[in-house]
A and B are shown apart, each in its own frame.
Chain A
Amino acid sequence: MLRLFVCATTLVSALSLAQQPAAKPADPVTGDAPAPADAAPAPASASDGGVAAAAAMGSGSTGTGAAPVAAPPPAPKKIDPKLFDDALNDYFAGNPKAAAPKLFDYTENVPSTDENYAWAQFFLARSLIELKLHHAGAVYLSRIARERTNPQVLTRALEELQQLTDRPHDEAMIDEQVFGALDLGFLSEDVAGYAHYQQGLVDLRVGNERWATTHFSKLPEGSAEASRAKYAMLVTRLKQARKDLPKEMVDQFFELAKDEKLTREARNDAMLAVARLRYEAADFTGALEAYNLVKLGPLEPGRAALYLEEAWTRYQLGQVHAAMGLLTTLDAPSFREEFLPDKFLLKALIYRDLCHYLPAKRSAKELTRRYAESLDAVRERDDLTRDPRLLRAASARGSTQRARKFLESLELEGEQLGRYAGTFGERMFGYMTRVYDLARAEAVRVYQRRLQDSVRVEADKLLRAAEQVRLMEYEVGLKLYERVKKGSKLVALIEEEPLKANQVSFKFADEYWNDELRTYRFSLKSRCIEETAR
């Protein structure tokens, strides 16, 4: 009986202890009640960039090492309306550092119905952006977009947000929650165009092409968004129609590649798509023309994929010396960290075709030697994201790259925030710290999720290349010990293109010049005898 009583008492006290946090007052900073301690982490709140959730999670530091545990914030104080004017004076005097804490103080202590509330948020966002705290600025601009308390401010906030999308940004918060969910009736043409484009992209991502077309059809003809939308549509169709490619798709991509309204990168992507489609259709000459039309800036090294694909195309055209020259390019410091297992395979193929079997075998072995650790990791079923080569390769492309860049920018801004610990004051600094903590935690989650998928793609690529290399080694091994018949003659040499009158030749001496990367020519005589000629 006594034991029963003790148990009951213990349980009652435990239950009352568990109820305690729920009795806490609402967070006056965010206006949200804190979540119970044992509840699952709340999703990012739409109204505050998820800061309330971060506070409830009791998140630690941002990496600045200065994040205090969120103490109950003080009750709203009465604010002198002049504070807003002072802050604006500071801002327009070119002192966003002084303006930001005042504007923060103002926004935190006036109701959202105050006539200057939205403007204060806007200038706070501008100040933060000027202090290179872009994400914090985006949080305030997104809040303006969602609250919509002042139409004038809203338009300007959307324009600012649009500009922020040019750099690494929170795609969920800006692209999906703001532009993807925007009521488009009241917007200016520019912003509406961008919003239609974003909403179309969201529809494309979820596989709803018809809805996407509806959005894209509202884009002004000839605008940059219209060109980008065309590109997005073509890429989506290309993904869907992998086996049965419509022939006009090449022309459509080719047209886009000449569209000056697109960025050079997008135009190059379109031209690469043309080249790849032609290659797939075995039109190697056409593919090579397309690769040559990819425009690089002065002294821009270009992309490793471009060179490797061009090398394959030239190899298919029998231009083995030029193909090998391009493989030399891929050894340049700019591409040394690139994940290109195919490179060794192609090198081995070229040596084999020129009947240099030992170098061919060596090149083939080089792949398994260089990627030995990664291959072991795949075989041992280790966590592939821990393999540095696969990790680097996976996070260098597409959405994973964007997620990585955003995470890096958050970490950089988190460090930057530490510099303003004194200027911002305890309350604002604590708030900003929580903003960055939460954003970072979410960015890490998104990055890891995308990484899991892309690292698998890279591992597949490596395994395929390793398999082909083994076949190559076997084939070369057979050739190496092949008996040469009596009276065999060397096959006619593959003619190397002679130097033209308008050309100049610079001998390569292990020094890579960016302006030469596309022009290397390798010179090696064939040793093939007639029977084994390719």
Chain B
Amino acid sequence: MHRAILIVSLLVPVFAWGQSELLEAPPSSVNALQDRAYRLQNEFTVMVGFLPSDPYTKGVFAQGGYAFHFNDYFGIQARGAYAFSLPTSLRNQLERDFTVLPTAFSRVLFFVGGDLIFRPLYGKLSVGNRFVVHGEVHLLGGGSGFAFTDGLTPSIRPAIDIGGGGRLFLGKNASLRLDLVNHIVLAAPGSMTGITNVLAINFGLAVNFGGTE
């Protein structure tokens, strides 16, 4: 009898505990659902960039492009850039002290290509607790054709592009864009040169028509 009472008295709190679990509210969540403030469709870009990876010749380039965004996540872009070369002190020293010929250094003349754009991150930032700015991060992948020259003969080489960038929206139609793309330039058919990495950092203004316009 005593045992039964003991078992019952031990079981009662367990049942009560189980019931309180049921009474408690299940986990709830709160989300802020907002209309996407900035959407893109036809985007034109004007950018300036820098090619820092070549130790002998740095490049500064101007790039223009057009991108079509299918939705808020995917788009394609076409771009073309023309580069101006700036010899480094190392190259100058080689040419001056070691009589290396200028034609030994090949440099980027221009490049054109296209990319698939994937925009997985969209968000906003608080600026000094006074303003809210919207931005996004995108990933780029595609191909290009690079024109190199050594001063005498130009050569065209294909490249695979992998990169990413960020965008800060200035308004419904304008945004600032920063891209960082590594162009893996493949060897030209029949050429002795190997794979060359050309890093391009470009920054510029993007003007959008359509989308949230």
Chain A residues lying within 8 Å of B123, measured Cβ to Cβ, are 506
Q: How far is the CA of A516 from the CA of B31 in the complex (A)?
A: 9
Complex contact B33–A521 (CB within 8 A): yes
Distance in Å: Cβ of A360 to nearest Cβ of chain B: 9
Q: What residue of chain A has the Cβ atom nearest to residue B27's Cβ?
A: A524
Known: A358-B24, A480-B23, A524-B25. A299 touches B32 (CB 8 A): no
Complex contact A515–B31 (CB within 8 A): no
Known: A502-B35, A503-B36, A513-B126. A522 touches B30 (CB 8 A): yes
Distance in Å: Cβ of B202 to nearest Cβ of chain A: 27
Complex contact A502–B31 (CB within 8 A): no
- Indicate whether A302 reaches chain B with its CB closer than 8 angstroms: no
Digitize A291-323: 1 where CB-to-B-CB distance is under 8 Å, 0 elsewhere. Answer: 000000001000000000000000000000000
- Indicate whether B152 reaches chain A with its CB closer than 8 angstroms: no
Chain B residues lying within 8 Å of A499, measured Cβ to Cβ, are 33
- Indicate whether A525 reaches chain B with its CB closer than 8 angstroms: yes
CB-contacts of A518-532 with B (<8 A): 519-525
Complex contact B132–A515 (CB within 8 A): yes
What total of A-B pairs shows CB separation below 8 Å?
A: 77
Known: A299-B132, A357-B23, A480-B23. A523 touches B28 (CB 8 A): yes
Q: What residue of chain B has the Cβ atom nearest to residue A322's Cβ?
A: B33
Q: How far is the CA of A503 from the CA of B122 in the complex (A)?
A: 11
Chain B residues lying within 8 Å of A507, measured Cβ to Cβ, are 29-32
Offer 22 A-B interface pairs, CB within 8 angstroms, sorted by A. Answer: A299-B131, A325-B30, A359-B25, A497-B33, A502-B39, A504-B34, A504-B35, A508-B29, A513-B32, A513-B132, A515-B34, A516-B34, A519-B32, A519-B33, A519-B34, A520-B31, A521-B30, A523-B28, A523-B30, A524-B25, A524-B28, A525-B26
Complex contact B30–A356 (CB within 8 A): no
Distance in Å: Cβ of A80 to nearest Cβ of chain B: 52
Complex contact A328–B36 (CB within 8 A): no
Q: Select one of B23, B28, B31 contacting A505, CB under 8 A.
A: B31
Distance in Å: Cβ of A296 to nearest Cβ of chain B: 14
Distance in Å: Cβ of B134 to nearest Cβ of chain A: 10
Q: How far is the CA of A519 from the CA of B34 in the complex (A)?
A: 6
Ranked nearest first, the 7 interchain pairs of A and B with the lowest CB-CB distance are A516-B32, A508-B30, A524-B28, A358-B23, A506-B32, A359-B25, A356-B25
Distance in Å: Cβ of A34 to nearest Cβ of chain B: 54
- Indicate whether A351 reaches chain B with its CB closer than 8 angstroms: yes
Q: Select one of A497, A505, A524 contacting B32, CB under 8 A.
A: A505
Q: What residue of chain A has the Cβ atom nearest to residue B130's Cβ?
A: A299
CB-contacts of B173-191 with A (<8 A): none
Known: A504-B35, A507-B30, A522-B28. 13 other contacts (CB 8 A): A358-B24, A359-B25, A480-B23, A503-B34, A503-B36, A504-B34, A513-B32, A516-B34, A519-B33, A520-B31, A521-B31, A521-B33, A523-B29
Task: Using CB atoms and an 8 Å cutoff, list the residues of chain A in contact with chain B.
Answer: 299, 325, 328, 351, 356-359, 480, 497, 499, 501-508, 513, 515-516, 519-525
Known: A299-B132, A357-B23, A515-B132. A506 touches B34 (CB 8 A): yes
Q: What residue of chain B has the Cβ atom nearest to residue A505's Cβ?
A: B31
Chain B residues lying within 8 Å of A516, measured Cβ to Cβ, are 32, 34
Q: How far is the CA of A299 from the CA of B23 in the complex (A)?
A: 39
Q: How far is the CA of A506 from the CA of B29 in the complex (A)?
A: 11
Distance in Å: Cβ of A366 to nearest Cβ of chain B: 14
Chain B residues lying within 8 Å of A359, measured Cβ to Cβ, are 24-25
Chain B residues lying within 8 Å of A505, measured Cβ to Cβ, are 31-34
Complex contact B30–A520 (CB within 8 A): yes
Distance in Å: Cβ of B210 to nearest Cβ of chain A: 13
Chain A residues lying within 8 Å of B131, measured Cβ to Cβ, are 299
Q: Select one of B25, B26, B36 contacting A504, CB under 8 A.
A: B36
Q: What residue of chain A has the Cβ atom nearest to residue B211's Cβ?
A: A502
Q: How far is the CA of A480 from the CA of B132 in the complex (A)?
A: 45
Complex contact B132–A328 (CB within 8 A): no
Q: How far is the CA of A325 from the CA of B39 in the complex (A)?
A: 26
Complex contact B26–A524 (CB within 8 A): yes
Chain B residues lying within 8 Å of A519, measured Cβ to Cβ, are 32-34
CB-contacts of B141-160 with A (<8 A): none
Interface centre among B29, B30, B72 (most CB of A within 10 A): B30
